[in-house]
């Protein structure tokens, strides 16, 4: 199959592109290589992909003409590209343009792909709101620009399924961790500062937050399992993550155990819109996709530390 992956040099997108290639598919990766986070990391990911024979193209989905020279014989689209996370440095316009306008432009391109079997939107547990412990039919209550615009992007994609213009689904991911995680995310920053002996900035009260910390390979298992299951997933929203909860404090302790160092904490003011609890309800994923994440938190942290030490 010929598969397009957007956000292909990002964290989860790069792992997915790699997995799809290993399964024998022809993979074309798109990324705009913006400077929201380390271009060094993005270029490292791009190098890994291109060395494996995956085509990586610099494209900005916000450009209405981004697909002028792209082939139209694509069979699957996996849409990871987005303005991620909750960041005080990102404006509403950043989220609006990268999550809504970009998705609309990609949908317009997808409708030109006559052999398209499925458009897979990558959503987020942030769509649920400050607590994300619900099944997929729960009313969304996003509490951040990120959650609001990702909900809108999800509905832009699913609208076309409801209109029977293309097959589409949306996968809502939960607290993904592992190698290639963005530098500002919790585990990469914990590992980096812990190895350097520097203090980790911890949002006040967040040590008690509960998270479904899910290893990236377990997430990718679920993402790629939609292939061949188009009739089951068309029009559906599906949660992907682990049912096992850990506090942020337990996450910090896991990193300390693996690196063999105590990490000093610098308590900083709370972050607006931060979720207090995420626990993936994956009953639907189990039923439709036979989804079964297995990697423990400690195993995931060990793999992430190994990757970090090997590359940085």
The token duo for 23 is 């399964």
- Of the candidates 76, 146, 187, 215, the residue annotated as catalytic is 146
Other Cβ atoms less than 10 A from the Cβ of 190: the count is 24
Contacts of 274 (CB under 8 A, 6+ apart): 86, 130, 203, 206, 209
Nearest CA among 156, 146, 143 for reference residue 105: 156
Q: How far apart are CA 8 and CA 272, in angstroms?
A: 29
CA atoms within 13 A on the CB side of 143: 13
Backbone angles phi, psi at 24, to 5 degrees: 95, 10
Does 146 participate in catalysis according to the annotation?
Answer: yes
- Burial pattern 205-222, b for ≥16 Cβ within 10 A else e, equals ebeebbbbbbbbbbbbbb
Contacts of 164 (CB under 8 A, 6+ apart): none
Which DSSP symbol is given to 49?
H
CA atoms within 13 A on the CB side of 257: 12
Which DSSP symbol is given to 133?
-
Q: Where are the beta strands (DSSP E) in the chain?
A: 2-6, 26-31, 55-58, 76-79, 118-124, 131-132, 168-173, 176-177, 200-203, 210-211, 214-215, 237-240, 246-247, 265-268, 277-278
Q: Annotated active-site positions, please? A: 146
């Amino acid at each position: 199959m010929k598969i397009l992956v957007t956000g292909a040099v990002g964290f989860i997108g790069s792992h997915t592109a790699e997995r799809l290639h290993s399964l024998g598919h022809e993979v074309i990766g798109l990324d705009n290589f913006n400077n929201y986070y380390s271009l060094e990391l993005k270029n490292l990911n791009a190098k890994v992909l291109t060395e494996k024979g995956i085509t990586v193209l610099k494209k900005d989905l916000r450009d209405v003409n981004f697909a002028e020279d792209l082939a139209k014989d694509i069979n699957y689209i996996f849409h990871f590209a987005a303005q991620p996370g909750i960041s005080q440095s990102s404006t509403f316009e950043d989220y609006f343009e990268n999550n809504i306008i970009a998705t609309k432009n990609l949908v317009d391109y997808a409708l030109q792909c006559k052999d398209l079997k499925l458009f897979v939107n990558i959503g987020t547990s942030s769509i649920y709101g400050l607590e994300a412990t619900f099944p997929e039919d729960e009313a969304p209550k996003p509490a951040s620009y990120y959650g609001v615009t990702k909900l809108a992007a999800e509905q832009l994609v699913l609208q076309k399924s409801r209109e029977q213009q293309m097959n589409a689904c949306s996968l809502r991911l939960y607290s993904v961790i592992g190698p290639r995680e963005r530098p500002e995310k919790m585990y990469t920053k914990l590992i980096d500062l812990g190895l350097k002996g520097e203090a980790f900035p911890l949002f006040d009260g967040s040590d008690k937050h509960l998270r479904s910390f899910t290893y990236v390979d377990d997430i990718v298992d679920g993402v790629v399992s939609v292939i061949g299951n188009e009739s089951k997933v068309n029009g559906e929203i599906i949660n992907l993550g682990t049912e096992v909860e850990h506090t942020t404090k337990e996450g910090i302790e896991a990193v300390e155990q693996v690196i063999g160092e105590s990490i000093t904490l610098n308590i900083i003011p709370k972050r607006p819109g931060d979720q207090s609890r995420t626990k993936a309800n994956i009953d639907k994923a189990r039923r439709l996709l036979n989804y079964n994440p297995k990697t423990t938190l400690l195993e995931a942290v060990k793999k992430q530390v190994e990757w970090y030490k090997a590359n940085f």
